[in-house]
Amino acid sequence: MDPIELNGLRPIQETNISPERSLKGSSPSGESFADMLTKAVGSVDQTMKESEQNIQSFIAGETENVHDVMISMQRAQLSFQMMVEVRNKAIETYNEISRMQI
């Protein structure tokens, strides 16, 4: 078996990308970049809400496991930091493209 096949990659001759699909700005799964960003922001929001719920239940005395609360807080913090970094890269890319001479 070819090492390229092990990684799920195919040679260029076998790819089947139509010009219409590549011009639409969507991925092979049919999902646009805006849809992916919307899902990612929704996921971060859900993680933050779950963390807040865990904190509230800990404060109310409904749960005594502080480790789960801390893990959910760290997960929410890391996902938020990742979202901010993606935003920063997108803004940096936009600024760089806008400075290009045509």
Domain parsing of the chain, residue ranges: 27-98
Over 60: is that where the pLDDT of 46 sits?
yes
Say whether pTM exceeds 0.85: no
- Answer with the residue of higher pLDDT: 23 or 69: 69
**Look-up: residue for tokens 């646009």?**
32
The pLDDT assigned to 64 comes to: 86
pLDDT at 10 > cutoff 50:
yes
Q: What is the mean pLDDT of residues 67-91?
A: 94
Q: Name the band, by pLDDT with cuts 50, 70 and 90, for residue 49.
A: very high
Mean pLDDT of the chain: 81
